[in-house]
Amino acid sequence: MAYILPNLSPILLQSKEKSSAIVFHQPCSPPLISPSSVSISSVNAQTKLEPPPPRGLAQVNRTPGAQDKKQNEKDEFFVNLGLAVRTLREELPSIFAKDLNYDIYRDDITFVDPLNTFTGIENYKLIFWALRFHGRILFRDISLDVLRIWQPSENMILIRWNLRGVPRVPWEAKGQFQGTSRYKLDRNGKIYEHKVDNLAFNFPQKLKPAASVLDMVATCPASPNPTFLWGPVDVHSSSWVEFYMAVKDTLDRQGSMIAQDCLATCSW
């Protein structure tokens, strides 16, 4: 025994040194993390990071600005402008057969010819009613042809037309004359003024119209440009003069009736 212990001591010491060396040189392992702690921390991290709102939703909830409003008004103007041009082109040739579509006009529309001015949509409707009514009485055949439509500016429509008719009286030959209708539009594309001017006449040589709205423009050819001047002529009765005066008298009587109604209402 005394022999064995001294001989074993170096071995035990050597083994202890090796174990201690192994333990000392063993790399440090990372701390253990429980699955529950990992899931809780990841959930908390996800709840803190809010995703950005969808792009489409942001566009829907965006309040339109002044630029969008201006663009919408411009789009509405061009839509109404196109409707006005299409309506005038399609309906003017049939004004002596059927009524027009008045949706393209404002309620306070003003009609102007070289001698008269009428205001209001009701008077404007009455003008075309009188044209149809007296046109059928005084003429066997009467029609209007649209020769040209163009825009000298964004808010104006110009139409060059030709009116021709065959009077019912046997001693009058058929005649025709041209004119220009100027339609002014507001910023919404609605017509607020209709002006007739630039009249040029082509009547038979033996028949001259009276000195009225049908005054002949001497030595001036038909043109779409407003270059005609009015000049005096000899006074002769014709169906064209009667036609114009009949339409004007209808509007004048309507105006006097409205004035009388207004006075009767005010007196009460």
128-177 per-position pLDDT tens digit: 999 999 999 999 999 999 999 999 999 999 999 999 999 998 888 788 88
User: From its phi and psi, is residue 30 left (phi > 0), alpha (psi between -120 and 50) or beta?
Assistant: beta
Mean pLDDT, all residues of the chain: 73
Q: Which of 192, 89, 194, 226 is nearest to 148 (CA)?
A: 89
Least reliable range by pLDDT among 1-10, 61-70, 107-116, 205-214 = 205-214
Alpha-carbon distance of 12 to 34, in angstroms, equals 40
41-74 per-position pLDDT tens digit: 555 555 555 666 666 555 555 556 778 878 888 8
Confidence of residue 240 (pLDDT cuts 50, 70, 90): confident
Alpha-carbon distance of 19 to 24, in angstroms, equals 8
CATH number of 70-267: 3.10.450.50
Mean pLDDT, range 88-112, rounded to an integer: 95
Output the pLDDT for position 242: 85
For residue 85, count CB atoms less than 10 angstroms from its CB and return exposed for 0-12, middle for 13-18, buried for 19 or more.
Answer: middle
pLDDT over 70 (residue 88): yes
Contacts of 215 by beta carbon, 8 Å cutoff, 6+ apart: 209, 230, 231, 232, 233
Of residues 217 and 114, the one with the higher pLDDT is 114
Tokens encoding 221: 């050819």
Contacts of 85 by beta carbon, 8 Å cutoff, 6+ apart: 149, 157
Output the pLDDT for position 51: 64
Q: Which of 83, 91, 90 is nearest to 185 (CA)?
A: 83
pLDDT over 90 (residue 25): no
Amino acid identity of residue 212, one-letter, is S
Alpha-carbon distance of 201 to 177, in angstroms, equals 4
Alpha carbon 23 to its chain's center: 90
Alpha-carbon distance of 158 to 181, in angstroms, equals 6
pLDDT over 80 (residue 244): yes
Output the pLDDT for position 206: 45
HSE-up (13 A, CA, CB side) for residue 238: 25
Q: At CA 236, angle to CA 231 and CA 241, rounded to 5?
A: 80
Whole-number percent of the chain with pLDDT over 90: 40
Confidence of residue 200 (pLDDT cuts 50, 70, 90): confident
pLDDT over 90 (residue 252): no
Output the pLDDT for position 163: 92
Output the pLDDT for position 243: 86
Using an 8 Å Cβ cutoff, are 161 and 145 in contact? yes
